[in-house]
Amino acid sequence: MLDGYHILTLTHRDAPLETLAHAIAPSEGAAHVLQNLKEQMGWSELLYLATCNRVTYVFYTQGLVNQNIAEQMLSVLQPELPEILVQKTATKMRLINGSEAVMHLLEVASSMDSLVVGEREIIRQLRQAYEQSRDWDLTGDHLRLLLGFTIETAKEIYTHTGIGRRALSVVALAFGEMLKTGLRPESRILMIGAGETNALFAKFLAKAKFTNVTVFNRTFEKAQLLAQANGWRAFPLDELAYFSEGFDVLVVCTGATQAIITPALYRDLLADENGKKVVVDLSIPHNVARETVDAFPMQYIEIESLKETANENLAYREQERDRAAGLIQDRILKFRDRWHERQVERSLAHIPEEVKAVKERAINEVFGKEFGLLDPAAQDLVQRMLGYMEKKCVAIPIKAAKAIALHGQKRQAKTVPQ
């Protein structure tokens, strides 16, 4: 049954980040520390996952798991940690057992339990954590089966629900709004600032294949770096006032605390064009002066105006989380069947070898003399016939045992709530 699966976890929901740090395996010599942990705790398999807001130990054991396990685990993991901190951290950790543990992992992978619902990054982190744990010799067949199933489930949830759809990040939303204005790939885009936010915006521009982008930044080298990576042009911010080629979109985002785009500068940048422009200003405080916005025809996209859409999108994702929860219930039943099938396979793993040995004995011992008298063509035919029989004979008991196990499972599911 699934009762060998357990999870000990501590997340951003349970405790502040400094408490979380006490439950993390030291990065130096982590493989050895975790191998020791697995051995001392008597776990047969272990998967270790640590992200910026979650630390999770998924383990498999047929032994008893008592309520003090978090304390025991922390004492082995961090022998230097003062007793008071061990206790404080342990009380915050959640222990989840059996099918609930499986369900929890499916929810985590489907980002239903994430800080930002629908954030797909977790699926990559989980896969990486599994590969790392496997390479450290911590995992075995039970966790291999669970992880494969978990990744498959997460993909299904992302495909069949909208949990990961509809952007939440300010940059993605601003870019979406900008696209709605009907730009062409050759539209002229002026980008002011080359910090993190604009670098992210630049990724969207590059992905959408905008070719005519000019980047201005106080530190010229940073503008150059951003522009060169995408085949765009770069200038120092000091030269912005002399730019006379006009623009279709102005993307401004810097850490300046005074408005950079004053009405006078904006008028110069217009280069005698008087059509309506698109201005994206993601800075806080705004980099485009209020007077500029009021004085010129423009579609002004700024953080406040995006918040409403972000909230609507978040509400949509939350609603999709409920749909995802329904799918997970179905998936748990499927995992039970798969787990049972796998146990049958494992318990019958010796059959192919045994059947093969019977075949070899028949040819070499029991019918050895008669076989030796046959001509090569007849010997070949007998070999092929026995090979065919061998294959079929191996499949029969495995198929039958799986059917019996599945039938037993279904009967049990009908009578006993699991």
Ligand X SMILES: NC(=O)c1ccc[n+]([C@@H]2O[C@H](COP(=O)([O-])OP(=O)(O)OC[C@H]3O[C@@H](n4cnc5c(N)ncnc54)[C@H](OP(=O)(O)O)[C@@H]3O)[C@@H](O)[C@H]2O)c1
Sites of contact with ligand X (CB under 6 A): 170, 193-198, 217-219, 222, 237, 253-256, 282-284
Q: Which is nearer to ligand X, 114 or 197 (CB)?
A: 197
Alpha-carbon span 208 to 215, nearest angstrom: 17
Q: How far is the CB of 224 from ligand X (least distance, A)?
A: 11
Write the burial class of residue 253 (CB in 10 Å: 0-12 exposed, 13-18 middle, 19+ buried). Answer: buried
Q: Return the bridge partners of 115, or none.
A: none
Q: How far is the CB of 115 from ligand X (least distance, A)?
A: 14
Q: How far is the CB of 50 from ligand X (least distance, A)?
A: 23
Q: Which is nearer to ligand X, 154 or 278 (CB)?
A: 278
Q: Which is nearer to ligand X, 236 or 352 (CB)?
A: 236
Shortest-Cβ-distance residue relative to ligand X: 195
Of the candidates 174, 190, 149, the one whose C-alpha atom is nearest the C-alpha of residue 2 is: 149
Q: How far is the CB of 284 from ligand X (least distance, A)?
A: 4
What DSSP letter does each residue of 43-67 carry, written as one string? -SEEEEEEETTEEEEEEE-SS---T
Beta strands in 220-371 (DSSP E): 233-236, 249-252, 277-281, 298-302
Alpha-carbon span 219 to 235, nearest angstrom: 9
Instruction: For residue 190, give both structure tokens.
Output: 């002026």
Q: Which is nearer to ligand X, 225 or 327 (CB)?
A: 225
Q: Which is nearer to ligand X, 30 or 303 (CB)?
A: 303
Q: How far is the CB of 241 from ligand X (least distance, A)?
A: 13
Q: What is the DSSP letter of 214?
A: E
Q: What's at 309, amino acid-wise?
A: T
Q: Which is nearer to ligand X, 46 or 174 (CB)?
A: 174
Alpha-carbon span 232 to 387, nearest angstrom: 66
Q: Which residues of 117-126 are buried (b: 16+ CB within 10 A; e: fewer)?
A: bbebebbebb
Q: Which is nearer to ligand X, 153 or 198 (CB)?
A: 198
- Cβ atoms within 10 Å, residue 340: 17
Of the candidates 116, 101, 77, the one whose C-alpha atom is nearest the C-alpha of residue 9 is: 101
Q: How far is the CB of 214 from ligand X (least distance, A)?
A: 15
- Cβ atoms within 10 Å, residue 392: 10
- Cβ atoms within 10 Å, residue 55: 19
Q: Which is nearer to ligand X, 53 or 62 (CB)?
A: 53
Q: How far is the CB of 257 from ligand X (least distance, A)?
A: 7
Q: How far is the CB of 223 from ligand X (least distance, A)?
A: 8
Q: Which is nearer to ligand X, 222 or 323 (CB)?
A: 222
Q: Which is nearer to ligand X, 98 or 195 (CB)?
A: 195
Alpha-carbon span 11 to 56, nearest angstrom: 8
Alpha-carbon span 317 to 319, nearest angstrom: 5
Q: How far is the CB of 162 from ligand X (least distance, A)?
A: 24
Task: Tell me how far apart the terminal alpha carbons of the chain are, to the nearest angstrom.
Answer: 10
Q: How far is the CB of 300 from ligand X (least distance, A)?
A: 15
